[in-house]
Amino acid sequence: MTESIDEELPEEESYFERIELFVDPGQRPLRIDKFITDKVANASRNKVQQRITDGEVKVNGLSVKSNYKTKAGDLISFVMERSRKDPDVIPEPIPLDIRYEDEHLLVVSKPAGMVVHPAHGNWTGTLVNGLAYYFKSLPELPGNSGRPGLVHRIDKDTSGLLVVAKSEKAMTHLARQFFDHSIQRSYLALVWGEMKEEEGTIDVPIGRGLKDRKVMQVYPDGDTGKSAVTHWKLIQRLRYVSLIECTLETGRTHQIRVHMKYLGHPLFNDSVYGGDKIRKGTQFSKYKTFVQNCFELLPRQALHAKSLGFIHPVSGKKMFFDSEIPADMESVIEKWKNYVQYEK
């Protein structure tokens, strides 16, 4: 059983969760059903309206009607079903980049742009749909239906390595390694700004945002969120950006992306956490054009799950896998290297 995080899949938990939303001072008035639908990933308009009709949606402790318009400072609370887990995965003949396979597990390289498993808004075309076609049947963790074989995952727009279990024994053993944080994982990231140190550790809790539950945020006071630890070291300084390697002790949702934003170095072209704008550099039009060209070459956050190490669940052998940087990210890194050299 694993922790409820992004790289490690959710532990068995209640089908419902209590949600609290704060209305930002700058938020324009909205019908409460639309406000909730916009903020909560698995909340359909009909589902929210039914909750309101049943008196289960409270604003500042009081029930309201669907036409209630939110006001700055409102505290909205309600209970909602957790995101749908669909056990009926549709097998699809999707090409898989398999780097290793035996009778117990396989290691696959996921391209950027591919969702790992079926979920709200992405029921087909995922890695799991491809795995279902390739294997016909795979084990599932308790409370993790619809995600056969998976013991961890990476974001849609992050590329890199994943290990997939082919047997119940392998799944339980691998899941335990993730839970114990004994899995070795390294990521390459291109971030905005020049790192002042050669290496460092970010030990700051992460949790869902109070204003928007679709994004994550840090909680430096430790009053909420879950423990999150990221180690980083500098690979190369490229004047206005830096190439770094990150290793994870934990695997919270968007952990590297959120932690680097917290340091003031958001990932290059990370649209969710502020990296899709020029954060460092000059105001010259030539520079702006250069950065825009880089954004077009790499239309995603510059993050790659490069290596993965674990103990084989049956043989006990230490396994380690490394992967090449994908072409889109490599091309942008090379452009920055050339740009810096030209400026000298």
Q: How far apart are CA 219 and CA 222, in angstroms?
A: 6
221 belongs to the catalytic site: no
Closest CA to 40 of 62, 63, 17: 17
Which of 6, 33, 155, 328 is labelled catalytic?
A: 155
- Contacts of 92-100 spanning 24+ positions with Cβ under 8 A: 92/124, 92/125, 92/129, 92/130, 92/132, 92/133, 93/130, 93/133, 94/125, 94/127, 94/129, 94/130, 94/133, 95/130, 96/127, 96/130, 96/131, 96/134, 99/161, 99/321, 99/323, 100/319, 100/321
What DSSP assignment string belongs to 69-115? BP-TT-EEEEEEEPPP--S-PPP-----EEEEE-SSEEEEEEPTT--
**Residues carrying an active site annotation:** 155
